[in-house]
Amino acid sequence: MKTQTRSRWWVVRKELDPSQSSILMALSFILPLVIWSVASYGPWWKVAHQVTVSAESPRLQSIYSVGDRLAPSVWKEFSTAIKEDNEEILAARKSGQPQASTARQNKKIVRQIHPIATVNGWLTREQELADDSIRKTWIDLAEGKLKATKEPLTVENLGVVKANAEMLTKAGTDWPTEALLKLLPQSSEEVSRPVYLVPPGVVAVSFWQGITATKPDAGEAGAERKTLLQRYAESWRTIVLGFLLAISVAIPLGLLCGTYDFASKLAEPFVNFFSYMPAPAFGVVLMAIFGLDLGPKIMLVFLGTLPSAILMISKTTRSLDGSLLEAAQTLGANQRQLLTTVVIPGVLPSLYKDLRLLFGTAWTWLVIAELLGFKSGLAEIIDTHGRRFQFDIVYPAILLIGLSGFFMDQILAYLARFFFPWMDQPKKGFLSRFFSGRARILGPAKQPVTSTPEAPTASPS
């Protein structure tokens, strides 16, 4: 390789050398990642207000919680509304006819301090509803016993704190019957990306939290109490059962159709027609027949996979080299022996490859299948959280499906060489290429780690 001073990158129909290949294969993943990062972290996204102190007002249609991101116009409407509420309360007090208020209304006003109190370490996260501690915080704050270390309250809000603390102290252990002042909304400025554009860092963290979570959906809204991995296992169960069912029908049928013209003419026209009817269209029927649990999901994967599996396997069977069959006939094989000793062993490697591809397509049915009846598996996350625009949770689930399909295929491709040692070395898959290529870059003297073990050579075993 020393003589080769410069490798050329663009040559028509010529394979690049392994190190070049590895670089490009790594880039094929890195480039989209870079585009994603640039898009998310680029300077073009407007600033939004992320609420740090919230309030409620009858003037507003919506309730804004801490963490919500608001467009500047909405923020203005929000702060103005609360300001007006406070002005009304003060005006009423001045006029000597203070606004009355229920205990609950005041309780809710007082609780609004909890998030910022948590940030500053005055309260713990769990004390959200611990009204006594929260009241104590107001009073301590008013007396100057507490100092904001991380997120200060505005001067106006400190005024509100003092005014309210006075009333709370006066009320003793009861709740004041007069309306308390509301804390004015505070916010921090945050980048406002479109909801669907979740930065890679956030997705990575969410993915990691998801797969390492041991408690079911800890702290997560939604009553479905399962961890991401449990859902992932559910998805696997659905897809594997559906797929196994499909191929256990498709393999015998496909072999028959590919071997006997009789079977082919009898079955394939209809199967071909059937394959044009989208499986999801039968969703309602499947629910009516198989209930709402696992049944319709498995059957959808089954129905989605079956027609193409039959057609593919019969085509594969038909493409078996005819001269092998003729050779076997001249060697005295009868019809049954042709099937068992030539057709079946002959098509196995191509069949294996077909099944690999079919398993890949089975994943595409999974999401639709899991939404039939009781939602389950990863699709439930995608559907439920997608509707709530929680794309930071949706993307890891999608990612998991993608990764599973991809690695499953690579692993199966890699295993083929052990199942079929009699095949010419199959073209190496992405993984083994990548790693062997990298091995060559890292340590030129080393043997490629994933090189195929030589198929049994001349020595008798």
Write out the residues near other proteins by the rule CB under 8 A. Answer: 56, 61-65, 71, 73-74, 77, 103-104, 108, 129, 221-223, 237, 241, 245, 284, 287-295, 298-299, 321, 323-324, 326-334, 337, 341-342, 345-346, 348, 373-374, 384-385, 387-389, 420-424, 455-461
CB of 401 to other proteins, least distance (A): 21
Nearer to other proteins, 84 or 326 (CB): 326
CB of 193 to other proteins, least distance (A): 15
DSSP 85-147: HHHHHHHHHHTT-PPB--HHHHHHHHHTTHHHHHHTTSS-GGGGG-HHHHHHHHHHHHTT---
Dihedral pair phi/psi, residue 123, rounded to 5°: -135, 160
Nearer to other proteins, 22 or 238 (CB): 238
CB of 311 to other proteins, least distance (A): 22
In 266-341, the DSSP E strands lie at: none
Under 8 Å between Cβ of 430 and 25: yes
Distances (CA, A) of 122 to 39, 100, 117, 154, 382: 38, 30, 5, 17, 37
CB of 446 to other proteins, least distance (A): 26
CB of 378 to other proteins, least distance (A): 17
Number of residues that this document lists for the chain: 461
Distance in angstroms (rounded) separating the CA atoms of residues 326 and 321: 9
Q: How many CB atoms lie within 10 A of CB 90?
A: 14
Nearer to other proteins, 26 or 221 (CB): 221
Secondary structure of 373-438 as H, E, C letters: CCCCHHHHHHHHHHHCCCHHHHHHHHHHHHHHHHHHHHHHHHHHHHHCCCCCCCCCCHHHHHHHHH
Long-range pairs for 105-111: beta carbons < 8 A, 24 or more residues apart:
105/179, 106/175, 106/176, 106/179, 106/180, 107/131, 107/175, 108/56, 109/55, 109/164, 109/180, 109/181, 109/182, 109/183, 110/134, 110/135, 110/138, 110/164, 110/168, 110/180
Nearer to other proteins, 114 or 438 (CB): 114
Nearer to other proteins, 130 or 229 (CB): 130
Nearest to 168 by CA among 145, 137, 193, 144: 137
Nearer to other proteins, 298 or 413 (CB): 298
Nearer to other proteins, 117 or 294 (CB): 294
Nearest to 273 by CA among 239, 310, 248: 310
Nearer to other proteins, 176 or 437 (CB): 176
CB of 23 to other proteins, least distance (A): 32
CB of 125 to other proteins, least distance (A): 14
Distance in angstroms (rounded) separating the CA atoms of residues 230 and 61: 38
Nearer to other proteins, 53 or 146 (CB): 53
Distance in angstroms (rounded) separating the CA atoms of residues 165 and 286: 62
CB of 6 to other proteins, least distance (A): 35
CB of 423 to other proteins, least distance (A): 7
The tokens for 375 are 């939602």
The tokens for 135 are 């009241």
CB of 285 to other proteins, least distance (A): 9
Nearer to other proteins, 51 or 161 (CB): 51
Nearer to other proteins, 214 or 457 (CB): 457
Under 8 Å between Cβ of 148 and 48: no
CB of 422 to other proteins, least distance (A): 4
Distance in angstroms (rounded) separating the CA atoms of residues 430 and 444: 20
